[in-house]
Structure 1
Amino acid sequence: MGSIVLPHLNTGWHVDQAILSETERVVAIRFGRDHDPECMRQDEVLYRIADRVKNFCVIYVCDIDQVPDFNQMYGQLLTALELYDPCTIMFFYRNKHMLCDYGTGNNNKLNFVLEDKQELIDIIETVYKGAKKGRGLVVSPKDYSTRYRY
């Protein structure tokens, strides 16, 4: 099971520290509920790619039910990012939220399950390369507008 092996951020402070402390790599955080079927599927993919992206990305999971102070600390962020999807991946670089245009109309987060390992690696790599160049918004290597309708 992926989420058992991926490092968990159990408090708002841990989320904060994960985002603040990493200076060279992208921080990818999967927000959601560990027991949610979508999260379980996504975590499995994240677990399978973690070793392949470890030089430029660190992956965490955060169960929003297990983080009591999360809404307190991140209330504004949650409101701004509408973190109510069953499963959401957000990217950060040097304490900055990274935006990615997936073609879905939502650049704040990846809010659909991506089961293709290489596609997810490509997105993370694109976010990393853009972040290194100082970009706050990158365009996903693939357009997901036709595949994922909302």
Structure 2
Amino acid sequence: MNYLLTTLTKKQEVDSMIRDTIDKVLVLCFGRASDSIFLQLDEILYKSVREVSKFATVALVDIDSDDVQVYVKYFDITLIPSTVFFFNAHHMKMDCGSADHTKWVGTFLRKQDFVDVVEAIYRGAMKGKLIVTCPLPPDRIPKFQLLYKDV
């Protein structure tokens, strides 16, 4: 993973990050170091960390770690990278125009897109919302064809 961002490999580490991140958005990015798109996201996150540090904490979750599979299954992380957001231990959702509001799938096209998304989640959370509308125009939101097996 990345030596510059916190990388979580154990369920306990993820649990305590969720529990202990107070009055800030917790950004958990699930992926693997060998994935080129994840490395692209990783770079955008690293460049953004200082800018969002007043209202967000960013951590990576190693999807290949056996100990975090409970979260991989719970959030149905089948496509990587996938980014999940929390605020005061509440799972924050975002309507990006797709059927899945639980996570951001894919990378962000640029640093400002990530900052805008985290800021929108923070502002919504401060107003007591658990779901916010994505602030990005549709052409800057990654599109994925969901494939269902045996349908």
**What TM-score comes out, normalization by structure 2 length?**
0.88
Are 1:60 and 2:56 counterparts? no
Structure 2: distance between partners of 1:21 and 1:10: 17
Q: Which runs of 4+ in 1 moved over 6 A?
A: none
CA contact (8 A) 2:9 2:67 kept: no
- Could you tell me which residue of structure 2 aligns to residue 45 of structure 1? 44
Percent identity of equivalent pairs: 26
1:101 to 86, 95, 100: 95
After superposition, where does 1:133-144 map in structure 2 within 5 Å?
Answer: 133-144=127-138
- Could you tell me which residue of structure 1 aligns to residue 3 of structure 2? 4
Q: RMSD between aligned alpha carbons?
A: 1.8
Residue 80 (structure 1) shift: 4.6
SS in 2 for 1:89: strand
**Any gaps of 5 or more consecutive residues in structure 1?**
none
Are 1:131 and 2:131 counterparts? no
SS in 1 for 2:3: helix
Residue identity matched to 1:87: P
Structure 2: distance between partners of 1:31 and 1:147: 16
Residue identity matched to 2:143: Y
**What TM-score comes out, normalization by structure 1 length?**
0.88
CA contact (8 A) 2:107 2:142 kept: no
Are 1:120 and 2:114 counterparts? yes
